[in-house]
Amino acid sequence: MKHTILLISAGLLVMAACNNGSNETGEIDRLREEAIAVHDEIMPQISAFDRNTVKIDSILANLPQLKEAQPEIDTTQTRTDLSGLKNRLELATDSMMNWMTAFDVDPQDKSTDEIKAYYEEEVEKVKAMKQFFDEVSKEATDKLAKF
């Protein structure tokens, strides 16, 4: 009888340990998928950012003609605003490229806890980047609407 209880208890412990590993693996997979999903939301904005950068370059190159057409425009302020916006657009795009290059889809030689912590950090990074992208996108929409 004691052997039976001991075997059942050992079996339950093994199943619990295996199930806990599955939960950890499931959590790691969920975190990795969350980071990639946020990345996938951001990526389409890069082409719009590139188009906006080209548009800014064109506006800046043609400021004298723009001043003739719209005498009320402050070209110095416009140059400052658009140059700053262009820098932020490029910073956003570069940050995404750097994140993608550094992102490790399948980290090796790390414990389960280290992998989980890595993906938690990556989710936070990509969420912060999404917020920055959203801010820059709104800024671009607002500032370029008059051109």
Query: Is residue 5 assigned to a domain?
Result: no
Q: Tell me what pLDDT residue 117 has.
A: 97
Domain total in the chain: 1
Query: Is residue 94 assigned to a domain?
Result: yes
Query: Is residue 80 assigned to a domain?
Result: yes
Domain span at residue 138 reads 26-144
pLDDT band at residue 93 using 50, 70 and 90 as cut-offs: very high
Query: Is residue 67 assigned to a domain?
Result: yes
Q: How confident is the model over 42-51, as a mean pLDDT?
A: 97
Q: Tell me what pLDDT residue 21 has.
A: 52
Q: Tell me what pLDDT residue 2 has.
A: 46
What digits encode the pLDDT tens for the residues 49-78?
A: 999 999 999 999 999 999 999 999 999 999
Query: Is residue 123 assigned to a domain?
Result: yes
What digits encode the pLDDT tens for the residues 6-43?
A: 334 334 334 444 444 578 899 999 999 999 999 999 99
User: Please, what is the average pLDDT of the chain?
Assistant: 88
Task: Give long-range contacts, CB 8 A cutoff, 24+ apart: 139-145.
Answer: 139/85, 139/88, 140/48, 140/49, 140/52, 140/85, 140/89, 143/81, 143/82, 143/85, 144/52, 144/55, 144/56, 144/85
Q: Tell me what pLDDT residue 6 has.
A: 36
Query: Is residue 91 assigned to a domain?
Result: yes
Of the listed ranges 14-28, 61-75, 102-116, 132-146, the least confidently predicted one is: 14-28
pTM, rounded to two decimals: 0.82
Query: Is residue 13 assigned to a domain?
Result: no
Residue 142, pLDDT above cutoff 70: yes
Query: Is residue 6 assigned to a domain?
Result: no
